[in-house]
A = this chain, B = another copy of it.
């Protein structure tokens, strides 16, 4: 039925209306997510907030999970590795930055609800791992660079190192709810990196 121009194999989403609808909806979803958590995101609420009809939302996303998933895709923004020349330098930059984001970023308040949902909803479990990968990507890159510089043996398992670096941050942010101050960050980095050197 539909004939397509030869040189235009997939005119994917050329429709302006679709683009605009999706954008509006995703923005509203993200807003609701950060304001009221995962539980606050209902298709009805998103529709009311965005002004986009429920029908339209269901036209583009099959389920609430899918919508949330999509709205969070912007979250896992890959960080660049800083490349200060030494592993400790890189790590300091990264951990400091992560601490700052855990203090301020709005998604920080939502992560637990996503983690919780991931325990049950496989669709959201995938989101969880994507977010995790996004957050940790820069760390892995820094480690890779350190390997190239010879700071780290090729074979060493660095997952312990990573856990030692970010685990305490997460712990403080959500469990003990103590401050993520400069001294704490420094202390953690010392502990984690100390073991590597000798």
Measured CB to CB, the residues of A under 8 A from B are: 36-39, 109-110, 112-113, 115-116, 119-120, 129, 132, 136, 159-160, 162-164, 166-172, 174-178, 184, 187-188, 190-192, 194-195
Contact = CB atoms under 8 A, between A and B. Distances in A.
A178 B157 CA distance: 13
Contact of A115 (B119, B159, B167, B174): B174
Contacts of A170: 167, 170-171, 175
Contacts of A120: 36-37
- Classify the secondary structure of A's interface with B: helix
Given A37-B119, A116-B113, A116-B116, A163 B188 contact: yes
Contacts of A39: 39, 116
22 contacts: A37-B120, A38-B116, A39-B39, A112-B119, A113-B116, A115-B116, A116-B116, A132-B176, A136-B176, A159-B176, A160-B184, A162-B176, A163-B168, A163-B171, A163-B178, A164-B168, A164-B187, A164-B191, A164-B192, A190-B195, A191-B191, A191-B195
